[in-house]
């Protein structure tokens, strides 16, 4: 008998009170990990020891138990004591919550099984009887103070032979398509389904990307799926026994949804604790160009620039995000196009994807114009500024024009102090972003606000809004004339002089139409939802919120 096992306790410490122990679960582990799977006290009082017996044969008595642990199992240092005269039997203090633990060697063979029996030994109890109970635990049902379990070792090579096959065709906007997943399960296990942005997908896509319905599975599978598909969340989970299995479900994409490349990333595991296996495939939902969320930029009176993003429903979502400080160095600041979220790429973002997503220009007090190109890897969303040139203080307003020439390069409008409007065609070259100016027309000093950068009529051409000094808002519809890029003005409505800031923010409501926000003198921000109609391209206003007078400019 090992030293210390027969120590006599004081009467106070020797008292047990209806101890109940949790039965250890059966485990499946890979080689190379630590195994510690003892029982634990769940109720009552226990001052004695738990006796554990291990063998490669089912524990039906001392003969089977004599085989002990596999030679590839190495005992790790712990406070459990080996019981003398018995093979792979350990006595562990319940009070100290001790459990035997072993390192499973890397050379352990696939499907190696270790059987574990346990029996409680009260203080002053019969050690040999407890050892015998642990060594024969496999012959009896588990009880509150004893029982049996087992460990099965399965190699990583075996785990890799549990495979999955996807049948995931694209799902166009307004359509329903059936998907099927086939699982070859060499072993029982579980599998989770997560949808991630694919190459060129919007980072914050309008949700839901698709609706999931009509789930069917093969016999023996148990699955739960969410009814909608969104990014970065577990959309489905299945458990199954060993065998050949399948899962089918229908994906339905809302009409009008832009293309969103997706990755179905599935994680499976045959282990109770161990590395998981991953498999994935790609498909797309929606049709046409990706629909990106649009941002409203706001510069506060301290020179900090913030962004708010549209929620794809009816307003702006979430807390603001800081772009950076120091933007009060500019007395003129404008975005060239609507500011949109980036598209997701695992490698470097292609340069042509960045263009037209909200580049910004700012003029400093000395008349120098600076250009900020979008850079999605940067925390601010913009690359470091580049100098365009001096002499820009001849203008009293700079207006982002959008892509007037529809060549993928954003353009700039500038009104001089004599009221002449000039057009600077974009080049797409960050070092020299504009060609020489072209005169549009004179007489533009009748307006105190010019608002550009987006298509409000829905024909694919950027338009220009202008408010005159009487408070009437006018629409200049874009055309394809390179020298006179706007049609004659049409009247939208009067009363717009109640506002002191405007932003033609793009589509923040998720309907593919550009929206307008306006701030009144009390600091309340109002949303005019775009409808694409003429002569009034906006619905009646809805209130976004108050407190927006903390900002000196909205972009």
What is residue 386's predicted lDDT score, i.e. its pLDDT?
Answer: 94
φ/ψ bin of 367: left (φ > 0), alpha (ψ from -120 to 50), beta (otherwise)? left
Pick out the chain residues at pLDDT < 50.
1-13
What is residue 378's predicted lDDT score, i.e. its pLDDT?
Answer: 56
Most distant CA pair in the chain, distance: 107
Task: Answer whether 154's CB lies under 8 Å from 30's CB.
Answer: yes
Take residue 402 and report the two structure tokens written for it.
Answer: 């959008």
Rounded Cα distance between 502 and 516, Å, is 7
What is residue 346's predicted lDDT score, i.e. its pLDDT?
Answer: 67
What is residue 31's predicted lDDT score, i.e. its pLDDT?
Answer: 98
Cis status of the peptide bond prior to 208, with omega within 30 of 0: yes
Take residue 7 and report the two structure tokens written for it.
Answer: 């120590």
What is residue 3's predicted lDDT score, i.e. its pLDDT?
Answer: 39
Q: Cα-Cα-Cα-Cα dihedral of 71, 73, 77, 78, to 10°?
A: -110
Q: Cα-Cα-Cα-Cα dihedral of 290, 296, 302, 303, to 10°?
A: 50
Rounded Cα distance between 428 and 60, Å, is 80
Question: Which residue in 491, 485, 441 sits closest to 466, CA to CA?
Answer: 491
Rounded Cα distance between 191 and 447, Å, is 62
What is residue 8's predicted lDDT score, i.e. its pLDDT?
Answer: 36
Rounded Cα distance between 210 and 229, Å, is 5
DSSP 8-state code for residue 174: T
What is residue 84's predicted lDDT score, i.e. its pLDDT?
Answer: 95
What is residue 7's predicted lDDT score, i.e. its pLDDT?
Answer: 40
What is residue 351's predicted lDDT score, i.e. its pLDDT?
Answer: 60
What is residue 427's predicted lDDT score, i.e. its pLDDT?
Answer: 93
Q: What domains are there in the chain, each with its CATH number?
A: 20-154 (2.60.40), 160-289 (2.60.40.10), 292-554 (2.115.10.10)
pTM listed for this prediction:
0.74
């Amino acid at each position: 008998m090992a030293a210390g096992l027969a120590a006599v306790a004081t009467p106070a410490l020797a008292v047990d009170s209806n101890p109940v122990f949790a039965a250890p679960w059966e485990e499946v582990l890979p080689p190379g990990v630590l195994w510690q799977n003892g029982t634990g006290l769940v109720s009552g009082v226990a001052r004695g020891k738990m006796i554990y017996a291990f063998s490669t044969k089912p524990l039906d008595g001392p003969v089977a138990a004599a085989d002990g642990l596999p030679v590839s199992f190495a005992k790790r240092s712990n406070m459990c004591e080996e019981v003398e005269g018995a093979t792979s039997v350990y006595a562990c203090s319940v009070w100290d919550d001790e459990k035997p633990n072993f390192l499973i060697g890397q050379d352990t063979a696939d499907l190696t099984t270790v059987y574990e029996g346990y029996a409680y030994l009260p203080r002053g109890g019969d050690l040999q009887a407890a050892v015998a109970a642990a060594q024969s635990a496999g012959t009896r049902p588990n009880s509150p103070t004893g029982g049996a379990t087992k460990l099965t070792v399965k190699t990583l090579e075996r785990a890799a032979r549990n495979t999955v096959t996807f049948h995931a065709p694209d799902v166009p906007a307004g359509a329903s398509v059936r998907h099927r997943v086939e699982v070859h399960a060499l072993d029982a296990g579980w599998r989770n389904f997560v949808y991630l942005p694919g190459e060129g997908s919007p980072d914050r896509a309008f949700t839901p990307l698709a609706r999931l319905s009509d789930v069917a599975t093969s016999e023996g599978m148990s699955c739960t799926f969410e009814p909608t598909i969104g990014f970065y969340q577990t959309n489905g989970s299945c458990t199954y026994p060993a065998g050949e299995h399948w899962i089918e479900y229908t994906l339905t994409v809302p009409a009008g949804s832009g293309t969103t490349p997706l990755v179905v990333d599935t994680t499976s595991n045959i282990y109770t604790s161990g590395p998981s296996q991953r498999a994935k495939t790609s498909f797309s939902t929606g049709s046409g160009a990706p629909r990106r969320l649009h941002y409203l930029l706001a510069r506060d009176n301290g020179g900090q620039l913030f962004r708010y993003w549209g929620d794809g429903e009816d307003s702006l979502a979430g807390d603001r995000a800081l772009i950076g400080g120091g933007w009060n160095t500019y007395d003129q600041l404008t975005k060239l196009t609507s500011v949109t979220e980036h598209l997701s790429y695992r490698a470097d973002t292609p340069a042509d994807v960045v263009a037209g997503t909200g580049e910004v220009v700012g003029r400093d007090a000395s008349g120098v114009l600076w250009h900020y190109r979008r850079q999605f890897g940067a925390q601010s969303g913009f690359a470091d500024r580049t100098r365009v040139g001096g002499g820009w203080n001849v203008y009293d307003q700079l207006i982002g024009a959008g892509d007037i020439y529809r060549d993928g390069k954003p353009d700039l409008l500038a009104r001089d102090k004599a009221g002449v409007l000039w057009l600077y065609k974009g080049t797409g070259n960050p070092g020299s972003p504009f060609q020489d100016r072209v005169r549009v027309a004179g007489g533009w000093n009748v307006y105190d606000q010019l608002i550009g950068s987006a298509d409000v009529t829905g024909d694919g051409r950027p338009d220009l809004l202008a408010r005159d000094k009487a408070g009437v808002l006018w629409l200049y519809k874009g055309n394809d004339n390179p020298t006179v890029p706007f049609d004659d003005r049409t009247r939208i409505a009067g009363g717009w002089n109640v506002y002191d800031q405007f932003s033609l923010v793009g589509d923040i409501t998720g309907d593919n139409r550009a929206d307008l926000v306006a701030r009144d003198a009390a600091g309340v921000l109002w949303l005019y939802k775009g409808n694409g109609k003429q002569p009034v391209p906006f619905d009646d206003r809805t209130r976004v919120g108050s407190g927006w007078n903390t900002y000196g400019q909205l972009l």
